[in-house]
Structure 1
């Protein structure tokens, strides 16, 4: 019984990791003094929800001196191509 439960938990963890690996968000961020703005796309390592993405993106941007303004959307790999040119050098940068 415990062997079966362990296997189920392992498979659930692997499945969740695979889903998170295919999760992306686009966002808007800023820096002050002087004011700089950017639109970017980031691959998410954690939960694939807008609230969780906001926390993850804010932390990662903050480490680089940026402040998150907003999470625009959460999407899968199929949405990368249409956002690549708009994100420019901030496409999968962080």
Structure 2
């Protein structure tokens, strides 16, 4: 039993950081001014390590397209 358990624990320890930083979908609301335009959509980002990191990534990507992030509605791993 110990021979099976040790490799399994090593595999779990090695995979845990990879799972924590897996890609995820982020649902958001954004806007553009002059004229006012609203957008509700999803964006896939590479790593969802923390809420602050997710918000930074989404805000940066949307800003590159001329959008202002209003709110992150949720995240889904996948």
TM-score, length-normalised on structure 2? 0.68
The answer for the alignment partner of 1:39 in structure 2 is 40
Distance 2:43 2:21 in 1: 12
Contact 2:27–2:41 (CA under 8 A) maintained in structure 1 = yes
Structure index of larger Rg: 2
Larger strand percent? 2
What pairs up with 1:75-94 in 2 under 5 angstroms?
75-77=76-78
Unaligned runs of 5+ in 1: 1-11, 78-94
Distance 2:18 2:34 in 1: 38
C-alpha RMSD over aligned residues: 2.4
1:62 maps onto 2:57 in alignment: no
Query: Which range moves more in the overlay, 60-69 or 38-47?
Result: 38-47
**By how many angstroms is 1:19 displaced?**
5.0
Distance 1:39 1:53 in 2: 17
TM-score, length-normalised on structure 1? 0.58
The answer for the alignment partner of 1:30 in structure 2 is 31
Structure with greater contact order relative to length (CA < 8 Å, sep ≥ 6): 2
Larger helix percent? 1
The answer for the alignment partner of 1:74 in structure 2 is 75
Contact 1:30–1:66 (CA under 8 A) maintained in structure 2 = yes
Aligned residues: 67
